[in-house]
Structure 1
Amino acid sequence: MFESGQHDIDPRQLIDVMAMSSGDSIYVGAALLTDPYDKTQPGDIRGVMGNIGRPGITFLVPPKDPLIKEVSIDEWPLIERHEFDGCLSDHFQNTSLHLSFTTAETPLNIGFSGGQDLEAGFLETLFSVYECGRWIADLNVSNLTTSTRLQRVPRCTTQHLAGTRPSNMTCIDSWLGLVDAPESSVSLVRAHGNWQARLAASSISLALGYEIMLLPDDVCWQCFDREYWNVL
């Protein structure tokens, strides 16, 4: 209503919307623009300058079943498995996030207005993660705000940051390693300080059915150990 001045659309029709384009502005759900550790609310919306070249108001929605790259037999030798050495590094520096559109679109019923252009509608939008220009997966980040399979390890408040690192933890330093993660061990995605890679890894992990524990920048392994056993 604020943007159009006349269309009071029922919010229940917009449950899956992740962004809205109108005029020279795009209004984006905050979950697409922040580190997943920084929990956002469903109604947290950010405005950015730009447009997608369509008239009226366009609501961007993710596909019902986002795709994830499958690991081929030829790629199995590229997956390295080694134990976590305590180094919190970023092995996903070539990761980037992209928006693209499919041909699927649906007009939104707002009543007859006499205009010839589509005044409001849904457009299926792919929010995808790439590495060095290679497609990895399409993401649906809406579940990051509501899923019970995602836990956030609290920041340490008792100053025991020098706790002993966990043993028997497998490092995940590539997207192939995440998609084909070992089932018998706890794995750590090493994307320290890289909010885009952390966002993509969280979304992919939820889609694959993994249990997720998001770590803060200043990790306390004693706090992690306590939360891990609480989750179990």
Structure 2
Amino acid sequence: MKSFACLAWFESGEFDIAPNGLGDVFALANGDSIYVASAFLSDPAVYRSKAPISRVFGNVGRPELTLMIPPSHPRLAEPDLRSWKLINHCPFDGTFQNGFASTSLHLTFTDFEMPLDVGARGLRDRQVVLLESLVSIDDRGRKVGDLDILSMFDSERLTIEICPHMNEHEAQEGSPVDGLVSLDCWDEFLDPPRSAGVFRATGNWQARLSAAAAGIQAAWKRVLVLPESPCVRCLQNYKNMDESLLLVA
């Protein structure tokens, strides 16, 4: 993001970094501030309405100005054949709930780092460094996978749904939707059904963000993010679909 090149200049007062080399950067850490792409800190259905970068207090324990980048090929966990008892793929009953209260996002670092040339010579210390960073899904202490969140929003397979049913009573009307399957745990997500699946994490922005990004990286052909207050009536458009469609509720 070009914004991080501007931030590097303002934070340091001297580092004029070419923006074309920072396309994958999602965060900048310097001193007691971490500037993060807002997509990492909000629900995927609403992040575009916010400023592109948010500041949080903290540090990553490094003296350099640190630019964080995702891995080239983030990995998701493979389906665990031993967890077959957890995979029910029950028909969607028309209710929305949060089955992923134990899901959270964690930041760690790999061993890859690369100093950037900022024009200074003769110094032993590095002043600016690219640091490969993993944003990982954790569920009850189990690592589900690593995410590349920014690239998700550039994918043609992602759709952000806008609900036209503004009246709350009208939006809640409805009955079970034929042909949709409920996904209430990560094992059901990693071993997807043959029909459209509803990832039920209502009110849990971290789980919804994780599901949307992981769905793009996985084998789902389309990923549709429902509004923060999902609507049963909107789902009628997707009933009895044969394609691999992930509905993030």
**TM-score in terms of structure 2 length:** 0.85
Structure 2 distance, partners of 1:78, 1:120, is: 46
Question: In the alignment, which residue of structure 1 is the partner of 2:180?
Answer: 169
Question: In the alignment, which residue of structure 2 is the partner of 1:69?
Answer: 77
Unpaired stretches in structure 1, ≥5 consecutive residues: none
Unpaired stretches in structure 2, ≥5 consecutive residues: 1-8
Letter in 1 for 2:84: W
Structure 2 distance, partners of 1:124, 1:42, is: 26
Question: SS of 2:48's equivalent?
Answer: coil
Indicate how the Cα distance of structure 1 residues 35 and 158 shifts in structure 2: closer, same or farther if over 3 A, else same: closer
Question: SS of 1:2's equivalent?
Answer: helix
Letter in 1 for 2:215: S
The question of whether the paired residues in 2 share the 8 Å contact of 1:35 and 1:195 is answered with: yes
Question: SS of 1:46's equivalent?
Answer: strand
Structure 1 distance, partners of 2:136, 2:231, is: 31
The reply to whether residue 101 of structure 1 matches residue 109 of structure 2 is yes
The question of whether the paired residues in 2 share the 8 Å contact of 1:29 and 1:42 is answered with: no
Question: In the alignment, which residue of structure 2 is the partner of 1:85?
Answer: 93
Indicate how the Cα distance of structure 1 residues 43 and 15 shifts in structure 2: closer, same or farther if over 3 A, else same: farther
The question of whether the paired residues in 2 share the 8 Å contact of 1:36 and 1:144 is answered with: no
Question: In the alignment, which residue of structure 1 is the partner of 2:225?
Answer: 214
The reply to whether residue 178 of structure 1 matches residue 186 of structure 2 is no
Q: How well do the aligned residues superpose, as a CA RMSD in angstroms?
A: 2.2
**TM-score in terms of structure 1 length:** 0.91
1:14 aligned residue (22, 27, 45): 22
Q: Percent identity?
A: 37
Q: Deviations over 1:88-136 (max 9, x none)?
A: 0000001111111111001111122443321001011010010111111
Question: How many residues get paired?
Answer: 230
The reply to whether residue 115 of structure 1 matches residue 123 of structure 2 is yes
The reply to whether residue 152 of structure 1 matches residue 160 of structure 2 is yes
What stretches of structure 1 move > 6 A for 4+ residues in a row? Answer: none
Structure 2 distance, partners of 1:61, 1:146, is: 16
Structure 1 distance, partners of 2:160, 2:100, is: 21
1:28-67 equivalent positions in 2, closer than 5 A: 28-40=36-48, 44-67=52-75
Structure 2 distance, partners of 1:43, 1:217, is: 19
The reply to whether residue 2 of structure 1 matches residue 10 of structure 2 is yes
Structure 2 distance, partners of 1:93, 1:217, is: 16
Shift in Å, 1:167: 1.2
Indicate how the Cα distance of structure 1 residues 226 and 73 shifts in structure 2: closer, same or farther if over 3 A, else same: closer
Structure 1 distance, partners of 2:118, 2:228, is: 46
